[in-house]
Amino acid sequence: MKKEEKVVDVEPVRLPYLGSMRPGKYILILLIAAVLLVFFMLFLLPGIVKGGRYVTFTSSLSDVGIILDGRYLGSTSGTNYFISSGNHEAVYVKNGITVGNDTIEIDHPVFATLFIRRSACVDIEAENTEGLYESIFENTLEGLADYSAVLSYDSSYNYPPLYSNYAADAAALSLRDVSSDMHLLSSFVTTEEMYDDLVNALRILDRAGITYSTVSTDLLHALLSGNAGSTDEVIVSPDENTAFTSDGFYSYSASSFTMGENQAVTADSINTLPVYVSTQDFEISQFYVTEYEYALFVQENPYWAKNNIGNLIADKMADEYYLAGITLSTAYVSNLPIRNISWHAADAYCRWLSEKTGVTYRMPSEAEWYQAASGSSDKAYAKSILSLDDGSHTSPLSMLGGLWEFTSDAYVPLSRLDGRTYDEEIVPSADIIVKGGSYINDPGSVTVQTVGVMRREVCSDYTGLRLVREKT
Q: What is the pTM of this model?
A: 0.83
Q: How confident is the model at residue 429 (pLDDT cuts 50, 70, 90)?
A: confident
Calpha distance 140→63 (Å, rounded): 12
Chain center to CA of 201:
19
More confident residue, 8 or 394: 394
What is the 8-class DSSP label of residue 78?
Answer: S
| pLDDT tens for each residue of 363-376 | 999 999 999 999 88
For 465, residues 6+ apart whose C-beta sits below 8 A from its C-beta are 288, 289, 337, 338, 341, 346, 349, 363, 405, 406
Nearest to 399 by CA among 459, 454, 446: 446
Is the CB of residue 182 less than 8 Å from the CB of residue 136? Answer: no
| pLDDT tens for each residue of 281-300 | 999 999 999 999 999 999 99
Give the rounded percent of residues in the chain with a pLDDT score beyond 70: 95
More confident residue, 378 or 432: 432
What is the 8-class DSSP label of residue 44?
Answer: I
